Amino acid sequence: MRRPKTAFFDLSCCEGCQLQVVNAGELLLEIVNLVDIVEFREAISETWAGELDVAFVEGSVTDEHAAARLTAIRARAKVLVALGSCATTGGVNGMKNALDLAEVGRIVYGEDRRLFPTAATRALHQVVPVDYTIHGCPIYLPEFLTVLKCILAGLPYTAPDQAVCTECKRIENVCLFDRGVSCLGPVTRAGCNSWCVNNGNICYGCRGLVSNPNEKGMLKVLTAHGVSLEHVVKKMELYNRCRAEVVERGR
């Protein structure tokens, strides 16, 4: 049976999500048995200019060059997958949108800024249609495998839309708020199995906000633990620059 021609591409990002795939260990052997990887700059030197069955695209669209490149990838891919938060929500690149772009260019490139025209950060779906979405910074490998299986089986995949707290409670972690630390789990989309909290860190909201965040519940938790809304909104802006106002509305 012909294995689907599959490629990995990167736009503006740190390439950490591709690294998750490269670091999949023995699972990587299973993956290459399932798909024919024809381009994957972080792993192989071959390139491919023909049609693609599946294109995984990591990173955000942060200039018109990236938008044109993404459009060209979309035109030759039957299935396009947004890989990681930079691609699915704009991720950390979204912070740029809060600043004056000319000023951003001046700070980063100084006198040479005209050589590097920039644009507001966009997630992939704001430029081209996206078939599958894998959130996370970086992606959570078990979810990547689930999505890959869905693609191969021709099934849709819907990312979980409940809060990270639901996973964290199942694992019976002690809530970080009870340890005097604030955490974005109550309003962040699950699907990572509360990965960061399990490993002694807070949830930074990398998977984006749930579609219907319990704003009043979150405010109740903050009030009970003496945490200011401003403090949490600032944390949320790291990954959710465009949607921090959602919590603001709960005031």
Binding of ligand SF4 by 132 (CB under 6 A): no
Q: For 1, what's the count of Cα atoms within 13 Å in the CB-facing half-sphere?
A: 6
Exactly one of 169, 170, 220, 234 binds ligand SF4 (CB under 6 A); that residue is: 169
Binding of ligand SF4 by 105 (CB under 6 A): no
Site string for ligand SF4, 203-242 (x = CB under 6 A): xx-xx-----------------------------------
Q: Which stretch, 96-104, 130-138, 154-162, 226-234, contacts ligand SF4 (CB under 6 A)?
A: 130-138
Binding of ligand SF4 by 86 (CB under 6 A): yes
Of 77 and 183, the one with the shorter C-beta distance to ligand SF4 is 183
List interacting residues with ligand SF4 (CB under 6 A): 13-17, 58-59, 84-86, 91-92, 136-138, 164-165, 168-169, 173, 175-177, 183, 185-186, 188, 192, 194-197, 203-204, 206-207
